[in-house]
Amino acid sequence: MASTQQQRIILVTGANRGLGFEVVKKLVNQSTSNKDLILLGTRDLKRGQDAINQLGSPSNVHAFQLDTSSSDSIAQAANVIKQKYGGKLDILINNAGIVSMEQTLDAAREVFATNYYGVKLINQQLSPLIRENGRIVNVASEVGAWTLYDASVDLQNKYTSSSLTEEQLDALVKDFFSAVETNRLEEIGYRSKLPFQAYGVSKAALIALTRIEARSWSGAKGVLVVAVCPGYCDTDMNKGRQGARPAAIGADSILHAALSPANELENGAFYQDGKKQAQVFPCPMDLSKMSQQ
């Protein structure tokens, strides 16, 4: 990270509630006299300001408007960082995410706009601003690994290939969309019975993208790019469902990836609760009957 003299600038997207908010809360509490400047990403400035009020209005937390599904908003956010914050970031936490239980093409496109394409575009635009030894954390999900576990070996091999390119990954995503549209998911190898399949595929794609980004930028200024799962947490995303753990614990999982010394992490890897995870593993529960409550 930056030298101890320098104030770190940390952007957390989708931080007005849920896990992103918990991450900012913990950063505020951990921050020493040389305070980090924390940009609380929010697509709605009023909601962001309300969140800052809930934190007691610390002077080092600024509401930062960013709709991660909008290329205009991302371009605007990059300009604000350049004009207002010296054009530098130390840590970027791509936390904003959505889920949908619908199995339609529109729903899949909406989920991917935030969970995959948005992160990809933000990283393209903001990675040049990341300071030496900085970090990019893509908040993914174990649901991505479960989704690939249920998929065909061919799809597993494609998503996990160490030579996968962005173009090939985009082609996989497009194939998924066209299979959703034509009801051919099983035929092309997506066999998950999870009720939020587009979410799972979007997170599988994000984990694969993280590896590609890490490979492409490897060695550049010592910047690490990692993916992380916060675990199944009690946030609005899981409203009404049983068995979720407190969001504060999920925030610790994210912060481990964001703040651990670089020599304790592997560039491009996927973490949960401080441990490296595989890209493909089975879901330990039967979630097939889960429905939106």
Q: Residue numbers of the site for ligand NAP (CB under 6 A)? A: 13-14, 16-20, 43-44, 47, 66-69, 95-98, 114, 139, 141, 229-230, 232-233, 235-238, 244
* Closer CB to ligand NAP, 131 or 253, in the complex: 253
The candidate with the shortest Cα–Cα distance to 229, out of 82, 114, 115, is: 115
For residue 242, count other CB atoms closer than 10 A to its CB: 8
Tell me, yes or no, if 116 is annotated catalytic: no
Q: How many CA atoms lie within 13 A of 57 on its CB side?
A: 3
CB of 15 to ligand NAP, least distance (A): 6
User: CB 154 → ligand NAP: shortest distance, Å?
Assistant: 26
Q: CA-CA distance, 142 to 276, in Å (whole number)?
A: 12
What are the Cα distances from residue 60, in Å, to 1, 157, 238?
Answer: 18, 45, 30
Rounded to the nearest 10°, the torsion over CA 180, 185, 190, 193 is 80
Q: Tell me the closest approach of the beta carbon of residue 104 to ligand NAP, in angstroms.
A: 18
**Closer CB to ligand NAP, 99 or 155, in the complex:** 99
Closest approach, Cβ 229 to ligand NAP, in A, equals 5
Indicate which residue of 117, 149, 159, 199 is catalytic. Answer: 199
Question: Which residue, 68 or 147, is less far from ligand NAP as judged by CB?
Answer: 68
Q: How far apart are CA 95 and CA 64, in angstroms?
A: 14
Nearer to ligand NAP, 145 or 189 (CB): 145
**171 vs 217: CA distance, rounded Å:** 21
Q: Which residues contact 252 (CB under 8 A, 6 or more apart)?
A: 26, 273
Residues designated catalytic: 199
